[in-house]
Amino acid sequence: MKNILLTTALLALTTGAAAAQTVRLGTEGAYPPFNFINDAGEVAGFERDVGDEICKRAALTCEWVTNEWDSIIPNLQSGNYDVIIAGMSITEERDKVIDFSQNYFPPAASVYVATDPAADVATGVVSAQVGTIQAGHVAESGATLLEFATPDETVAAVRNGEAVAVFADKDFLAPIVAESNGELMEVGEPVQLGGGVGLGLRESDTELKAKFDAAIQSMKDDGSLNALIEKHFGPETAKF
Amino acid sequence: MFSSCADPKAIEGLTWLLCYLTSGKHLDFYASFGTVLALLAITAPTALAFGFFGAMAARSPMLPLRLLGQGYTGMVRGIPDIVFFLFFVIALDQGIEWMVHQVRCPDWTEPVRQGLEFRVCPEAKVPSSNAAQTWHSLYGFGLAVFTFALVFGAFAANVLTGAMAAVPRAQLETAESYGMTPRQVFRRIMVPQMWVYALPGLSNLWMILIKATPLLFLLGVKDIVYWARELGGSKTQAYEYPHPDWRLYYFLFLLCFYLLMTWGSERVLGRVSQRLSLGQATAAGEAQRKAAA
């Protein structure tokens, strides 16, 4: 009995290469409404819907996995999953190490959110998530950058006074501000960063990239992508 | 879980709390306690085995074996745990895949390392990318157990080497004079008697192992710390159960769990120590003898 169990375990681990290749989608699962773990313990959000639809159109079997944000690129490269779908903005710097599909979310604004309308975002302590374009922007802006591993912690830092403001995607912060009963507010001017959100792929996966590009294009063409953006981010968000 | 939880935003008070605490995500959280306990239950004996063989090798009369044992304990003990957990696991994972790759895809011409990418043929992926997520989790857990066992085995080896050296020479000499072979002396006299000397060191290691389990999180295994942070973070209306930042409560709960674990372990280890001291030529054994007399 033990042997049978062991053998099946080994088989499950090593065979199955003959069947259609499963594409593993890696996401962070902590960045609502882009991606988050819902109360049933499953990946949900805008990117869940987009990813499932893209896979359907490209006729691929996809599986969702979660990974910490700060190791999401190295783990793609070492092959733990095949695609990054985690609200990752297309930037030149990242494009040097991985490839991006065309964007499935238009270039968006990043905003500062604080508890005090007079918060000094130019020279004060500003929190941002580690390894994001927002963190890079804060570091260059002259403010003191306070980095956190998860998006949630960056907001908590403002609430408990560790930072005067948090700098992140407007679409992530907007629902948090709206539900804070006036505790949090947008301050300063919105900043346009990055070239939209795209799928991250290994540079050697050109075939997969072409399939995804085509699927995203078809979603843009028939308006289903815009419908999903509106469903998750509200009618005021920029669309294609 | 319950039918009354179908629409979480319409319920309040205790019902809400009950539904909240039995959501799928919370069930995952409770299950992760099992993961941590399983890790402890598997790692502790494995580490002890690693330590035992490490100690035997370090005391071996054969030079290569001795160097191997001493090299193992020296190296692993000298490297910071966190470096070990970050580097070794990746190296192990890629090493396994590289070996499978050599066996399964001898005709593969592309280089395995392409810049920063590590690319083996699809058949060499461990576990296969078609395997269910459960296998990926199990594989990750297996790597974690092995790494923990290797690190703690090195410390255990050091403790056991010391304990073996602490067994009174007179006892071993008596056994030899009875005509026992070195192997018999080791098995019948030294090993049964060394535990009492090893126990303080080993119980220390056990405590450190309990407290080191949050490192699982670094290895990508979703342990209790991961879930506490995930569940405790403030939740917007995008979630079924929106709530403010509750991390404090979740981490307090973890604190209680860890305190309970270490407190329980201390009591058990205290008993074991009493038991092992019985009839030993140590101060504790002598005290027991006097108390009984």
pLDDT in tens, A40-94: 989 999 999 999 999 999 999 999 999 989 889 988 998 889 999 999 999 999 9
Residue A9 has pLDDT above 70, yes or no: no
Task: Determine the average pLDDT of the residues in A151-172.
Answer: 93
> Poorest-confidence range of A7-21, A32-46, B18-32?
A7-21
For residue A68, the chain B residue with the least C-alpha distance is: B220
Interface contact B249, partner A, CB < 8 A: no
Helix ranges (DSSP H) in chain A: 2-14, 46-57, 72-77, 92-97, 133-141, 151-159, 170-178, 206-221, 224-233
Interface contact B258, partner A, CB < 8 A: no
Residues 28-67 of chain B whose Cβ lies under 8 A from any Cβ of chain A? 28
Contact A204 B119 (CB under 8 A): yes
- How far is B34 from B168, CA to CA, in rounded Å? 42
* DSSP per-residue string spanning chain B: --GGGSSGGG--HHHHHHHHHTSHHHHHHHHHHHHHHHHHHHHHHHHHHHHHHHHHHHT-SSHHHHHHHHHHHHHHHHS-HHHIIIIIHHHHHHHHHHHHHHHH-TT--S-SEETTEE---GGG-SS-TTS-HHHHHHHHHHHHHHHHHHHHHHHHHHHHHHHHHHS-HHHHHHHHHTT--HHHIIIIIIHHHHHHHHHHHHHHHHHHHHHHGGGGGGGT---HHHHHHHHHS-B-TTSSS-B---HHHHHHHHHHHHHHHHHHHHHHHHHHHHHHHTT-SSHHHHHHHHHH-
**Predicted pLDDT at B269:** 94
**Predicted pLDDT at A14:** 46
ipTM of the complex: 0.81
Token pair, residue B236, equals: 């917007």
> Over the stretch A212-238, which tens digit does the pLDDT of each residue have?
999 999 999 999 999 999 999 988 888
What ranges do the domains of chain B cover?
3-292
Contact B131 A42 (CB under 8 A): no
Nearest one of B106, B105, B99, B97 to B125, comparing CA atoms? B97
Q: How confident is the model at residue A102 (pLDDT cuts 50, 70, 90)?
A: very high
Q: Which residues of chain B have pLDDT under 50?
A: none
Smallest Cα distance from B20 to chain A, Å: 8
Nearest one of A221, A224, A199 to A211, comparing CA atoms? A199
Interface contact B289, partner A, CB < 8 A: no
Token pair, residue B91, equals: 């190296």
Contact A21 B122 (CB under 8 A): yes
Residue A19 has pLDDT above 50, yes or no: no
Number of residues written out for chain A = 240
The sign of the CA dihedral B169, B170, B176, B180 is negative
Smallest Cα distance from A228 to chain B, Å: 15
Q: Look at the domain B3-292 and name its fold.
A: MetI-like fold (1.10.3720)
- Specify the pairing of strand A83-84 against strand A200-201: antiparallel
- How far is B133 from B31, CA to CA, in rounded Å? 16
> Over the stretch B171-228, which tens digit does the pLDDT of each residue have?
999 999 999 999 999 999 999 999 999 999 999 999 999 988 888 877 778 889 999 9
**Predicted pLDDT at A4:** 52
Domains of chain A: 15-106+196-233 (3.40.190.10), 109-192 (3.40.190.10)
Burial class of A85 by CB neighbour count within 10 A (0 to 12, 13 to 18, 19+): buried
**How far apart are the two ends of chain A, measured CA to CA in Å?**
58
**How far apart are the two ends of chain B, measured CA to CA in Å?**
61
**Predicted pLDDT at A3:** 55
Chain A residues with CB inside 8 Å of B240's CB? 38-39
| Contacts of A92-100 spanning 24+ positions with Cβ under 8 A | A93/A136, A94/A200, A97/A73, A97/A203, A97/B116, A98/A73, A98/A200, A98/A201, A98/A202, A98/A203, A99/A200, A99/A201, A99/A202, A99/A203, A99/A205, A99/A206, A99/A209, A100/A198, A100/A199, A100/A200, A100/A201
Q: How confident is the model at residue A148 (pLDDT cuts 50, 70, 90)?
A: very high
- How far is B209 from A176, CA to CA, in rounded Å? 39
For residue A149, the chain B residue with the least C-alpha distance is: B229
Q: What is the pTM of this model?
A: 0.84
Which among A78, A148, A169, A205 is the top mutation candidate for probing chain B, defined by the most B β-carbons within 10 Å of its own β-carbon?
A: A78
CB-closest option in B27, B118, B236 to A79:
B118
Nearest one of A179, A211, A173 to A61, comparing CA atoms? A211
Token pair, residue B133, equals: 């997520």
Chain B residues with CB inside 8 Å of A74's CB? 116
Token pair, residue A59, equals: 């006729």
Residues 57-96 of chain A whose Cβ lies under 8 A from any Cβ of chain B? 63, 65, 67-68, 74, 77-79, 82
Chain A residues with CB inside 8 Å of B90's CB? 78
Reduced to 3 states, what is the DSSP secondary structure of residue A39?
Answer: coil
At residue A103, what is the residue type? Answer: N
Whether a cis peptide bond, with omega within 30° of 0, leads into A107 is: no
| Contacts of B20-26 spanning 24+ positions with Cβ under 8 A | B20/B241, B20/B243, B23/A39, B23/A40, B23/A41, B23/B240, B23/B241, B24/A39, B24/A40, B24/A41, B24/A42, B25/A37, B25/A38, B25/A39, B25/A40, B25/A41, B25/B227, B25/B230, B25/B231, B26/B231
**Predicted pLDDT at B6:** 81
**Predicted pLDDT at B162:** 94
Q: What is the mean pLDDT of chain A?
A: 89
- How far is B293 from B283, CA to CA, in rounded Å? 15
Contact B23 A17 (CB under 8 A): no
Chain B residues with CB inside 8 Å of A37's CB? 25, 230
Chain A residues with CB inside 8 Å of B142's CB? none
Residue A166 has pLDDT above 50, yes or no: yes
**Predicted pLDDT at B1:** 58
Residues 7-26 of chain A whose Cβ lies under 8 A from any Cβ of chain B? 12-17, 19-24
Interface contact A223, partner B, CB < 8 A: no
Q: How many CB pairs under 8 A join A and B?
A: 112
- Please say whether the beta carbons of A26 and A201 come within 8 A: no
**Predicted pLDDT at B54:** 95
> Poorest-confidence range of A130-134, A203-207, B151-155, B216-220?
B216-220
